[in-house]
A and B are shown apart, each in its own frame.
Chain A
Amino acid sequence: MSLIAKNTGGMNKLSRSIKIAYNKDHFMRITTVFWLCLFYCFSSLFAQSNGERVSLAEGLKQLEQKFTVSLYFDTEFLPKISIPMPDASDDFESSLKELLKGTGLAYINYRGYAYIIATEDQIERKYTQQYFSERDSIKESIARFKEEVEAFSVGTPGETETVGAYAIEGFITDDASDEFLVGASISVEGTGKGAISNEIGKYKLTLSSGEYVLLMKSLGYVDRRIKLTVLGNGNLDLTLSKEAIQLDEIVISSEAQNSNVSSTDVGREVLSVKEIKRLPAFMGEADVIKTLLLLPGVSSVGEGAGGLNVRGGNVDQNLVMQDGMYLFNTSHVLGLFSLFNPDVVNKVDLYKGSMPARYGGRLSSILDVELKEGNYQKFTGKGGLGLVSSRLTLETPIQKGKSSIIVGSRFSISDYLFDVIEIAEVQESSAFFYDVNAKFTQRFGDKGKLSLSGYYSQDRFKFDQEFDFRWKTQGINANFNYLFSNTFSFNLEAVYSFYESSWTEENSNRAFLLENGINYLKVRPEITLSIGDRHNFNAGIEFNDYEVDPGSINPLDASSTTIAKEVPNEFGRDIAFYLNDEFALTDQLSLNLGLRYVYYQSLGPGEVSIYAEGVPRLPDAEIGTNTFAAGDVITDYSGLEPRASLRFSFDESASIKMSYNRTQQFINQLSNTTAVSPVDIWQLSNTYIEPLRAHNYSVGFFKNFISNTWESSLEVFYRDIDNLIEYRDLANLLVNDQLETEILSGIGRSYGAEFSLRKNKGRLTGWLGYTYSRTERKTDGSFIEESINNNEWFLSNYDRPHDISFVLTFQANKKNHFGLNFVYSSGRPITAPAASFSVGNALNVPIYSERNSIRIPAYHRLDLSYTVGQSHKKQQLWRSSWTFGVFNVYGRRNPFTVFFTQDAAAPPQANRLSVLGSIIPSITYNFSF
């Protein structure tokens, strides 16, 4: 079986392609055979057999076609001679010998199906059977092979001018699926020049005539290095390969080589699905969010809690997008699994420091999850069976090379198993979920691309008769890209989505059904413009229109003590204008400057309470209301958001970077529980709830070692926040039409340092991350009722000063790998009792101390996994693997929280709640075809 990294461009010049061969007879090895070929004659062998003479290359090509064999050679070795058309002999080797007679070339057969053609000297001295045998054992890198042999040229010889620059452009695609690779980088070594493929996978370089070495990189693909001879303007389409694992060549880097050093981004983390899938996972379910939690600066309240806390930010301060669609809840099964189906995810980008101006609306971070496009060449599929869920993803071309579709789905199987377990509480419980992703992509020549994607997910989490949560997310996205010229492209994105949730409590005297939700529409036209080699502009307009259903509650039956109530919907919209320019001042110094302006309106219909001055804003301080009709502007806010980042490179492997962002947030998730819940409501900025505003500062030093084998970084960050939302003690947020009486406005700050050491290559890969961070907040109320901890700084409930993650994967052989995670973090703060009182018949009522003043015990956990039979043979029809995992190996009962119980006749007790307090084994079967 062989794979060909196709050279679809370069027209008919000296193009060559690598053939990477796998020996299926040698199961435990992957052999890379390089060499290149190039035939660009497509005429028929026998059509020219009437004494006609052809070039040697053409003759070889015809021979290859006739006998259906693979010939590998470098056209540089071929003498420029013409030969008679090959005879139609029945014996391939005889015909080949005849063809090569007198040319100084010889051949060697490679494992019975391929022939390497080189000079007689090379065949004798270099490309011996021993040579290929050694390749199996010493496993030289693919990149090295490529560097040795792969060369391209563009332009027409003879028309080359020594002065002036030429434009080289083309597409970068996946060699198997033909999918355009967005964001693939090409760097021209030794020049500081480079390019990034745009939204439709197109790149453009401007180079003067001469010879260059280009290095191409894209997340999840093997780096590819080529020689390029520039003779003039020309097209050069390139491919990258999700190539087989080479034991010494496992590249786990989230980004391309040295890009952590060379980019202007600070605090950006990029993950590939490959990387995510290699790590041990809870119940064997590869999970985007859980993997992000292993990165420095990313934490959560505890296992089982949904969402992320990024650099001291609230969960709702992260803009989470899936193909541009905002997600208001990222969890399945409350928080044990995330919404993202790893089989349809292409790439995960987390911006926790610098933030391009095209992103806005949240203070802390951007999580941009990009979904795959369907395979443009053939029908493929993948899936898996686990203890919790099963999944299946199918992709196929609709019009080969032009349009494709991918559909992926996951569904939980736990409910079926619950039914079998003969425990009444379990049988009455449910942890059901499913999600479906679908994406259709249509290419319009080499200029345009249209993507239509849809997402639907539904959850139900029910425990016995105690509670019953349901939530669902639906959304559609349309994205159109058009390349007007090599320097100017246009993108239009439109998204409509809604999220709704409910909470039913059946078995109590207050039996009720509570429902709430949110929907929004987003439209974003955007242009990208390149000026010269050094400027990349990006500008656009983003419009968001929100409708929030704050909720309604209804009694389930006549005996319920719940009072029916509904809070009217709220409306708001914002429009943002943004401009971003990434430019290189010098080879060492690059800047990324952006500016975003946002105008927000809170809209009617609605009623706004008026409260008496000089007293705490409590419900009984209401003295009237203002009424607004539909479309009326109740209040508005606006503000500029400058963004800047700077990179200074000491050399190719070391740089220092700085960034500053101003961010604003006009929608907040109101959550006064330990962890965010599916029924938390979203609240738009209004008369009393001003937009959150933050200044974010980051500085980082980045250093790579040993050809990017090791990456290290040390980043320091600081963020201060205005109008931070806090809650009164025991605030009641559900179905409350006077939320402003439960909410306090404060300020916040978070700061810390993140250290990361990562090994990207080799059989042993992984990273060590350490974060020291603090996150604090403070109210400024004039009344006791409006202050927390006497207006002193206090810790947020997710403040964890020390956080360590150690991640290791070891490729035992070509098919099996081992994974290990170890995490440690300081215990988070809780509010604990300091004293007690008795009043009436209530005895020993705890009196809680200042908010979040006590820490629960530290969290640590070890997970292991072992994957066997993971085949990487690209052309194998059915590939499968088993993953065995153990979560929480030493069964630590990590406290999610500690709460206190008391009894009239018993001393108070601290109770530790562990969500996953035992050893949890898992087994998962994965397959693809």
Chain B
Amino acid sequence: MQSVYMRIIAIISLMALGLLGACIDIIELETENKADGLIIVDANLELSSRSATVQIRQAADFAAGPDGVELPVGGATVRIQEVGGNGLNLVESETGIYKTEEAIGEVGKSYQLFIEVNGESYESKIESMPERIPFDLIDHVQREESFNNSQGNIETQEVVAIRSTTDLPNNGEGIFLRYRASGVYQFNERVSLNDKICYVPERIDNNQLTIINGSSLNNGVLNQQEFLLKRVDSRLAKRYCFTLVQISITQNEYNFWTAIEDEFDRTGDIFETPPAKINGNILNTVSTKNDVIGLFSLTASDSAKYVITGSQVGFSRGPCEGFPPPAQGSPCFNCLQIQNSSYQEPDCF
């Protein structure tokens, strides 16, 4: 009986070896590693806002990673044209950043972006301003989530998932949404004479893309849609204030973000669509050079504050505990050493 058992185990082991032989590991691969003068255009016109901003930069060499510098591109002529209406020239407020305070984005009106720089001309597709979709309800749920860590291994961590419930007009047809989020946490200095509290703002949605096609929703109801995951750590131990933005976008922008989301989700499996340059809605009109990645974004945003307290997440900490120490100095005695921190208490605290 023993030998039969061992034989079965042996067979299973062999089988496992055979069918679980797949693996992923990190290798060195020499790539072309050159941006080749590719320019990046990040343009936005917000509904009802007088402000429109266009940033023009040069793409960074990929191998440079997060330290890569996207050099601003100055000297461009930038204009936003309302289809059938007036055009507005944007002024370069600082190198590579072009602004106007005279724009008025109106729902249903169409706009187009024109840029001339370095002898090339670029223009966007004609985009129509979407309508604003306000949050009906925001809530959160706490659960465990698996992440790939920097070594490529999977680790599980407690998170809060922020959710939106919204009843979309027109059964969601033609409605496209995306989300942005930022947060502020409070940091108590080590107990001292002053016992000061800093408020530290942070971006918390980097590379977290949640995009919604209203047509795919059941009767156009966005029901407890998770759009942000925040790891539970000591920053949530006291009180954490989220600023959440639900943004209506155009279909072209939705397609752009979908492509980026797919890129972020890439796992290399054999049935995956091969990668390709992600183009936005801006093209070179002078030559057939595919030398621009640009997004002309018409948005209608709804913003809301949402607070989670330490007791809600079941997490507590003492002063000056649980943070990765800043590179220099000790925030325990001077919390202003934490980047962007201030003693100014935000509204939601």
For A335, the chain B residues whose CB sits under 8 A away are 270
- The 9 A-B pairs of least Cβ separation, nearest first, read A729-B276, A907-B65, A899-B268, A835-B35, A904-B206, A910-B29, A835-B59, A561-B216, A913-B268
The smallest C-beta distance from B342 to any residue of chain A, in angstroms, reads 22
Query: Which residues of chain A from 892 to 916 have any CB-CB distance to chain B below 8 Å in the complex?
Result: 893, 895-916
A170 at the interface (CB under 8 A from B): no
Most-contacted residue by chain B among A282, A784, A919 (CB, 10 A) = A784
Q: Could you tell me the distance between the alpha carbons of A420 and B152 in the complex, rounded to whole angstroms? A: 28
A842 at the interface (CB under 8 A from B): yes
Q: Which of A288-296, A478-486, A799-807, A848-856 contacts B (4 or more CB under 8 A)?
A: A848-856
Query: Which residues of chain B from 132 to 178 have any CB-CB distance to chain A below 8 Å in the complex?
Result: 150, 152
For A893, the chain B residues whose CB sits under 8 A away are 23, 25
A842 with B274, Cβ < 8 A, contacts A832-B32, A835-B35, A914-B22 known: no
Q: Which of B255-263, B313-321, B333-341 contacts A (4 or more CB under 8 A)?
A: B255-263
Most-contacted residue by chain B among A845, A895, A905, A920 (CB, 10 A) = A845
For B70, the chain A residues whose CB sits under 8 A away are 837-838
Residue of B with least CB distance to A675: B270
A843 at the interface (CB under 8 A from B): yes
State whether B275 touches A900 (Cβ < 8 A).
Answer: yes
Partner of B27, one of A842, A857, A902, A906: A857
State whether B23 touches A731 (Cβ < 8 A).
Answer: no
The smallest C-beta distance from A298 to any residue of chain B, in angstroms, reads 19
A787 with B288, Cβ < 8 A, contacts A834-B61, A851-B276 known: yes
Residue of B with least CB distance to A897: B268
Partner of A921, one of B17, B34, B36: B17
State whether A907 touches B66 (Cβ < 8 A).
Answer: yes
Q: Could you tell me the distance between the alpha carbons of A388 and B29 in the complex, rounded to whole angstroms? A: 35
Partner of A922, one of B18, B31, B66, B207: B18
Query: Which residues of chain B from 245 to 272 have any CB-CB distance to chain A below 8 Å in the complex?
Result: 257, 259-260, 262-264, 266-272
Interface string of A806-843 (1 = CB under 8 A from B): 00000000000000000000000011111111111111
Q: Could you tell me the distance between the alpha carbons of A923 and B19 in the complex, rounded to whole angstroms? A: 14
State whether A784 touches B283 (Cβ < 8 A).
Answer: yes
Residue of A with least CB distance to B268: A899
For B35, the chain A residues whose CB sits under 8 A away are 834-835, 847
For B266, the chain A residues whose CB sits under 8 A away are 899-901
A129 at the interface (CB under 8 A from B): no
State whether B66 touches A304 (Cβ < 8 A).
Answer: no
The smallest C-beta distance from A349 to any residue of chain B, in angstroms, reads 29
B348 at the interface (CB under 8 A from A): no
State whether A841 touches B62 (Cβ < 8 A).
Answer: no
Q: Could you tell me the distance between the alpha carbons of A731 and B263 in the complex, rounded to whole angstroms? A: 13
A387 with B259, Cβ < 8 A, contacts A561-B217, A843-B206 known: no
For A414, the chain B residues whose CB sits under 8 A away are 15, 19
B238 at the interface (CB under 8 A from A): no
State whether A837 touches B21 (Cβ < 8 A).
Answer: no
Residue of A with least CB distance to B206: A904
State whether B263 touches A837 (Cβ < 8 A).
Answer: no
State whether B209 touches A831 (Cβ < 8 A).
Answer: no
Most-contacted residue by chain A among B31, B68, B205, B267 (CB, 10 A) = B31
Query: Which residues of chain A from 718 to 768 have any CB-CB distance to chain B below 8 Å in the complex?
Result: 729-731
Q: Which of B6-14, B183-191, B192-200 contacts A (4 or more CB under 8 A)?
A: B6-14
Q: Could you tell me the distance between the alpha carbons of A420 and B28 in the complex, rounded to whole angstroms? A: 38
Q: How large is the interface on A (under 10, 10 to 19, 20 to 34, 35 or more residues)?
A: 35 or more
B279 at the interface (CB under 8 A from A): yes
Additional A-B contact list (20), CB under 8 Å, known A902-B264, A922-B14:
A301-B270, A420-B8, A563-B216, A790-B288, A790-B290, A834-B33, A834-B35, A836-B59, A837-B57, A841-B207, A842-B260, A847-B293, A851-B274, A895-B27, A899-B267, A910-B29, A911-B24, A913-B23, A916-B21, A920-B21
The smallest C-beta distance from A193 to any residue of chain B, in angstroms, reads 52
Q: Could you tell me the distance between the alpha carbons of A559 and B223 in the complex, rounded to whole angstroms? A: 9
B42 at the interface (CB under 8 A from A): yes
A629 at the interface (CB under 8 A from B): no
A405 at the interface (CB under 8 A from B): no
A832 with B27, Cβ < 8 A, contacts A302-B270, A417-B12, A904-B207 known: no
Residue of B with least CB distance to A921: B14
For B59, the chain A residues whose CB sits under 8 A away are 835-837, 847
State whether A911 touches B34 (Cβ < 8 A).
Answer: no
Residue of B with least CB distance to A413: B15
List chain A positions with a Cβ less than 8 A from chain B.
282-283, 301-302, 304-305, 334-335, 387-388, 414, 417, 420-421, 426, 431, 510, 558-559, 561-563, 672-675, 677, 729-731, 783-784, 787, 790-791, 797, 830-849, 851, 853-854, 856-857, 888, 893, 895-923
Residue of A with least CB distance to B247: A840
For A847, the chain B residues whose CB sits under 8 A away are 35, 38, 59, 62, 277-278, 293
State whether A832 touches B273 (Cβ < 8 A).
Answer: no
State whether A790 touches B36 (Cβ < 8 A).
Answer: no
Residue of B with least CB distance to A845: B260
A841 with B260, Cβ < 8 A, contacts A417-B11, A857-B27, A910-B29 known: no
B235 at the interface (CB under 8 A from A): no
State whether B26 touches A673 (Cβ < 8 A).
Answer: no
State whether A426 touches B268 (Cβ < 8 A).
Answer: no
A797 with B270, Cβ < 8 A, contacts A834-B36, A917-B21, A922-B14 known: no
The smallest C-beta distance from B132 to any residue of chain A, in angstroms, reads 18
6 sampled A-B residue pairs with Cβ under 8 A: A420-B8, A839-B295, A844-B65, A849-B32, A911-B25, A913-B23
A916 with B22, Cβ < 8 A, contacts A420-B12, A847-B38, A904-B66 known: yes
The smallest C-beta distance from B63 to any residue of chain A, in angstroms, reads 7
State whether A911 touches B14 (Cβ < 8 A).
Answer: no
For B51, the chain A residues whose CB sits under 8 A away are none
State whether A834 touches B62 (Cβ < 8 A).
Answer: yes
Q: Could you tell me the distance between the alpha carbons of A282 and B217 in the complex, rounded to whole angstroms? A: 46
Q: Could you tell me the distance between the alpha carbons of A302 and B283 in the complex, rounded to whole angstroms? A: 36
Residue of B with least CB distance to A510: B216
For A832, the chain B residues whose CB sits under 8 A away are 29, 31-32
State whether B19 touches A431 (Cβ < 8 A).
Answer: yes
Residue of B with least CB distance to A783: B288
The smallest C-beta distance from A529 to any residue of chain B, in angstroms, reads 48
Q: Could you tell me the distance between the alpha carbons of A159 and B263 in the complex, rounded to whole angstroms? A: 86
B213 at the interface (CB under 8 A from A): yes
The smallest C-beta distance from B143 to any residue of chain A, in angstroms, reads 14
Q: Could you tell me the distance between the alpha carbons of A382 and B259 in the complex, rounded to whole angstroms? A: 52
For B262, the chain A residues whose CB sits under 8 A away are 730
B243 at the interface (CB under 8 A from A): no
State whether B274 touches A673 (Cβ < 8 A).
Answer: yes
B208 at the interface (CB under 8 A from A): yes
For B112, the chain A residues whose CB sits under 8 A away are none
The smallest C-beta distance from A751 to any residue of chain B, in angstroms, reads 24
Partner of B271, one of A673, A908, A911: A673
Q: Could you tell me the distance between the alpha carbons of A838 and B65 in the complex, rounded to whole angstroms? A: 11
For A918, the chain B residues whose CB sits under 8 A away are 17, 21, 23
State whether B32 touches A841 (Cβ < 8 A).
Answer: no
Residue of A with least CB distance to B178: A840
For A558, the chain B residues whose CB sits under 8 A away are 218
Residue of A with least CB distance to B67: A907
Residue of B with least CB distance to A896: B270
State whether B12 touches A846 (Cβ < 8 A).
Answer: no
Q: Could you tell me the distance between the alpha carbons of A836 and B279 in the complex, rounded to whole angstroms? A: 13
B215 at the interface (CB under 8 A from A): yes
Q: Could you tell me the distance between the alpha carbons of A905 and B293 in the complex, rounded to whole angstroms? A: 22
State whether A849 touches B205 (Cβ < 8 A).
Answer: no
